[in-house]
Amino acid sequence: MKVGVVGLGLMGGPMAMHLHKAGLLAAVYNRTRSKAEPFEKLGVYVAQSPADLAGRVDVVIVMVSDAPDVEHVLFGPGGVVEGARPGLVVVDMSTNSPEWARRFAERLARHGVEFIDAPVTGGQKGAVEGTLTIMVGGREELFKRLLPVFQAFGRNIVYVGPVGYGQAMKLVNQVVVALNTVAMVEGLRLAKALGLDMEKVAQVLTGGAARSGSIELYLPKLLRGDLSPGFKAVHLKKDLGYVMELANKANLYLPATAMALELYKKMVEKGLGELGTHALGEVY
């Protein structure tokens, strides 16, 4: 399979590099061309547009910020559908919602293009180390065919159901991530107020029942004063917004998630959205 990657940011860049090492990467495209230069030096074709990329590969991976960005990459001027041929597969690995995933699948099907939603979790660290968890929604036979692609940068690859189920599972994941992060930030505030040794706090939180992905990934960074993103706060705010849209439609009461969304909204309003999700304490 020849694979192309659209979007070479914090996540897409490392994922594309793993695909190159696996001998699968045929082309890349990024709106800011400078991010594609490391791949050009490796002999990877740098496409002029998503359409140009789509015409050269069997599988297009899209890793951009939000649903409107995915829509533009697929259907905008110079978009994937302009270069697509029947049998092409589009894999959306960004995070949006089940409704968007089903909409993309329906529109691409008119062009003879198949679609899979396969968002990831594990942050930039997981992308760099090739240990991401990938939640895949789509036709199961197609999932099995694409497994070598996912295995290039993922360790925990889970087929969760038809189109849209990947995004649904990711939103569940984001609720737990957000609430774990709020718990970590508030626990650390309490620890500081009580005068505890923060290294010993870390020893307890990473070894007992409070242990979580947020603790393991981000507590060491917080102790160093490093607020740089492994996952940007603005993106978690976007994801929680999708969660609450779905919850409101289903008349589902999620008070803690609603609170977390308000906290991340405050982060973005204060101009802190480009920091990591673990920098939430900056708004307290």
162, 181, 206 - which closes a domain: 162
Q: Look up the pTM and report it.
A: 0.94
Same domain? 139 vs 208: no
Share of the chain above pLDDT 70, in %: 100
Mean pLDDT of 110-123: 96
Q: Which domain holds residue 90?
A: 3-162
Q: Give per-residue pLDDT as tens, 127-185.
A: 999 999 999 999 999 999 999 999 999 999 999 999 999 999 999 999 999 999 999 99
Same domain? 27 vs 71: yes
The per-residue pLDDT for 91 is 98
Cα dihedral sign for 237, 231, 58, 118?
negative
Task: Give CA separation, 52 vs 77, 78, 84, 199, 276, in Å.
Answer: 12, 8, 9, 52, 33
Same domain? 96 vs 129: yes
Q: Give per-residue pLDDT as tens, 53-63.
A: 999 999 999 99
Same domain? 111 vs 210: no
d(Cα 168, Cα 170) in Å, to the nearest integer?
5
Same domain? 156 vs 78: yes
Q: Please report, for the domain that includes residue 158, its CATH number.
A: 3.40.50.720
The per-residue pLDDT for 96 is 96
The per-residue pLDDT for 13 is 98
Q: Is 17 helix (H, G, I), strand (E, B) or coil?
A: helix
Q: Give per-residue pLDDT as tens, 203-239.
A: 999 999 999 999 999 999 999 999 999 899 999 999 9
Residue 232 catalytic?
no
Is residue 199 very low, low, confident or very high in pLDDT (cuts 50, 70, 90)? very high
Same domain? 99 vs 188: no
Q: In sequence order, what E strands does 24-77 have?
A: 25-29, 45-46, 59-62
Provide long-range contacts, Cβ within 8 A and 24+ apart, for 144-152. Answer: 146/1, 146/59, 146/89, 146/91, 146/116, 148/1, 148/22, 148/24, 149/1, 149/3, 149/19, 149/24, 149/59, 149/61, 149/91, 150/118, 152/15, 152/18, 152/19, 152/21, 152/22, 152/24
Catalytic pick among 21, 41, 144, 170: 170
Q: Give per-residue pLDDT as tens, 11-44.
A: 999 999 999 999 999 999 999 999 999 999 999 9
Total domains in the fold of the chain: 2
Cα of first residue to Cα of last residue in the chain, in angstroms, is 49
Mean pLDDT, all residues of the chain: 97
Q: Please report, for the domain that includes residue 174, its CATH number.
A: 1.10.1040.10
Same domain? 12 vs 81: yes
